[in-house]
Chain A
Amino acid sequence: MTLDAASWDALYLSLLVACTATIVALPIALWVAWLLARGQFRGKSLLSALVHLPLVLPPVVTGYLLLVGFGRAGPIGKFLYDVFGITLAFRWTGAVLAAVIMGFPLMVRAMRLALEAVDPKLEQAAATLGASPTSVFATVTLPLITPGILAGAVMGFAKAIGEFGATITFVANIPGQTQTLPSAIYSFLQVPGGEDRAIALVLWACVIALGAVALSEWLGQRVAKRIRGIEGET
């Protein structure tokens, strides 16, 4: 299946954005999942609502809010530009931000469920054996929630590949710069005779999605084998 240069650019950009977004979001999502699963603080439900907001808002609205906040004239965008010289709007980095925000609730949810499934009694046992809280997290909690982290990462990656509404609103659809795979497909379908190019990209999108699912299955099985019997221990 041959692709022209513009299609290649879009495919490459989507993979770059999705990978970057997943790596950036992973530690933050884990931290927020920890806060939501284990934390006891005021404003917990507010944090939960905030995290889940992109799931219920129309993506275009999220994109517009990003533009208002992170655009060159927006409060955060102005700060980032003045202090660090960073511009997000209409750049590929902005697409990463949009992907992070949109995939975040899915990642947090998967990790939070995994954290809630860890028996705190095991962590207590580790503490009585002399393991500090950090050590307990690294040697007991983290290995036990690895399947959840992987699931969250795959969800976030898939969401980032498919993200359209917020991305196109925030960073537009500039070929070679901010045109991701979905926006490319959308553009091709707007021009008469562009269907062939669109179909080629659609097929690639399917391949990537299937590949991600297969990879997560394989990793999940390997991890499950390593930590077999989480359910067996009561």
Chain B
Amino acid sequence: MSLDLQISKTQGNFTLEAAFNAPIGVTAVFGRSGAGKTTLINAIAGLSKPDGGHITLNETTLFDSVKRINLPAHKRRMGYVFQDARLFPHLDVTQNLRFGLRHAPVGAAGPSLEEVADLLGLTNLLQRRATDLSGGERQRVALGRALLSRPQMLLMDEPLAALDGPRKERILPYLERLKSGAAGLPILYVSHALDEVARLADHLVILSKGKVAATGSIFDVLADPANVPLLGVRQAGAVLQATVIEHGTDGISTLHVNAGEIELPGVVAPVGTRVRLHVLAQDVILSRKRPKGLSSVNILPVTIKNIRTGDGPGAAISLDAAGDQLLARVTARAVQDLELSKGTHCFAVIKATSIAASSIGR
């Protein structure tokens, strides 16, 4: 099960030329506005026709310019969750959900309406009019409707972009649960918000000016110093996987990572669960010696893997923390003063409060 594509499309003086593979799990397509994200997702859904190339889902050819194949949208079995939900205003929540179910191919397997309503917390909304819902509720119904059409792949175009901070925070756990509800499906998640991507994605495709600038596992792509300019120096940062060991009475939790233990506030996941930490590169401090008398206790021994100095005064450094990857951003002057180079052993200091609760995901 995977989506394989290589397409080109020109609109005015913008050209999209993308080629990548999206396996089972969440593949995030990250890019700034105007990078071609929506053009790409609409081409996959069959809502717009590429100029050339091919799109293949599993063994089915959805589009092939050489063989002149262009499957219409309603035959592609793509569950598409739009940024603006697009619920049918003349139907209530149940009818909206059933719309997907009714048009699903006969005999296609998938969760029932009750299961989806339960998964997405819609049970109390079923009788409501689509127009009487809040933004977050609308988006959850849209997710459920897409899931119930028994898709072979899920497409999500910035499903959280229209929501404000707290609402976004409330729907993210549902998206994380969706990964289990849509188990076995490739999910394409288009976003320009790196914190969402870092929480949800397994794979990452960075789209820049219509071209694929980087692609690979979320851990590798986010930890690669070469990608810092694409992500923005303030947003760039690696994803660290940790296991919750205990929750202290003072609100500080202890987590285990390969290189040791770290202490963080604001962790809600129960003891024993694996969580992801999006550690921003600008919040990582490097030290040649193990620092003492520091307010932060999150000090991990690391080895420098790669250093990339950009045009500006900064340098991005990728670090190996006993198998985990970290990214640090320091000044080029500090690189010289500390004599940092590939293979140098040093210590990474992470300020506990710098990891916002929003960048901790399951």
Task: Give the shortest distance, in Å, between A71 (CB) and chain B (any CB).
Answer: 46
Pairwise interchain contact A131-B74, C-beta atoms closer than 8 A? yes
Pairwise interchain contact A128-B90, C-beta atoms closer than 8 A? no
Query: Secondary structure of the A side of the interface?
Result: helix
CA distance A34 to B317 in the complex (A): 60
Pairwise interchain contact A129-B146, C-beta atoms closer than 8 A? yes
Query: B86 contacts which chain A residues (CB < 8 A)?
Result: 121-122, 124-125
Task: Give the shortest distance, in Å, between B255 (CB) and chain A (any CB).
Answer: 40
Query: A92-126 CB contact bits vs B (8 Å, 1 = yes)?
Result: 00000000000000000000000000000110111
B residues whose Cβ falls under 8 Å from a Cβ of A: 45-47, 72-80, 82, 84, 86-90, 99-100, 103-105, 129-132, 145-146, 149, 155
Query: A198-234 CB contact bits vs B (8 Å, 1 = yes)?
Result: 0000000000000000000000000000111110111
CA distance A232 to B88 in the complex (A): 11
Stretch at the interface among A3-11, A37-45, A138-146, A151-159: A138-146
CA distance A155 to B77 in the complex (A): 42
Query: B47 contacts which chain A residues (CB < 8 A)?
Result: 124, 127-128
Query: B146 contacts which chain A residues (CB < 8 A)?
Result: 128-129
Q: In residues 175-208 of chain A, which contact B (Cβ within 8 Å)? A: none
Return the contact of B99 from the options A139, A230, A233, A234 (Cβ within 8 A): A139
Query: A227 contacts which chain B residues (CB < 8 A)?
Result: 89-90
Query: A133 contacts which chain B residues (CB < 8 A)?
Result: 74
Pairwise interchain contact B104-A130, C-beta atoms closer than 8 A? yes
A–B complex contacts, Cβ < 8 Å, 15 sampled: A122-B88, A124-B73, A125-B86, A127-B72, A127-B74, A128-B47, A128-B149, A128-B155, A129-B80, A129-B99, A129-B100, A131-B103, A139-B99, A227-B89, A229-B130
Known A-B contacts: A229-B89, A229-B130, A233-B87. Give 19 more (CB < 8 A).
A122-B88, A124-B73, A125-B80, A127-B46, A127-B47, A127-B72, A127-B74, A128-B73, A128-B79, A128-B155, A129-B80, A129-B99, A130-B105, A143-B90, A144-B90, A228-B89, A228-B129, A228-B131, A233-B131
Pairwise interchain contact A128-B74, C-beta atoms closer than 8 A? yes
Task: Give the shortest distance, in Å, between A150 (CB) and chain B (any CB).
Answer: 14
CA distance A133 to B105 in the complex (A): 16
CA distance A133 to B72 in the complex (A): 10
A residues whose Cβ falls under 8 Å from a Cβ of B: 121-122, 124-133, 135-136, 139-140, 143-144, 226-230, 232-234
| With A229-B129, A232-B131 as contacts: A129 and B145 at CB distance below 8 Å | yes
Pairwise interchain contact A226-B90, C-beta atoms closer than 8 A? yes
CA distance A131 to B96 in the complex (A): 13
Pairwise interchain contact A130-B89, C-beta atoms closer than 8 A? no
CA distance A135 to B145 in the complex (A): 17
Query: A135 contacts which chain B residues (CB < 8 A)?
Result: 74, 103
Pairwise interchain contact A234-B84, C-beta atoms closer than 8 A? yes
Pairwise interchain contact B45-A128, C-beta atoms closer than 8 A? yes
CA distance A234 to B74 in the complex (A): 23
Query: A228 contacts which chain B residues (CB < 8 A)?
Result: 89, 129, 131
Query: B131 contacts which chain A residues (CB < 8 A)?
Result: 228-229, 232-233
Pairwise interchain contact A128-B80, C-beta atoms closer than 8 A? yes
CA distance A126 to B293 in the complex (A): 61
Pairwise interchain contact B89-A129, C-beta atoms closer than 8 A? no
Task: Give the shortest distance, in Å, between A158 (CB) and chain B (any CB).
Answer: 27
Pairwise interchain contact A129-B103, C-beta atoms closer than 8 A? yes
Task: Give the shortest distance, in Å, between A224 (CB) and chain B (any CB).
Answer: 10
B76, B131, B132, most chain A CB atoms within 10 A = B131
A144: nearest residue on chain B (CB-CB)? B90
A119: nearest residue on chain B (CB-CB)? B86
Query: B99 contacts which chain A residues (CB < 8 A)?
Result: 126, 129, 131, 139
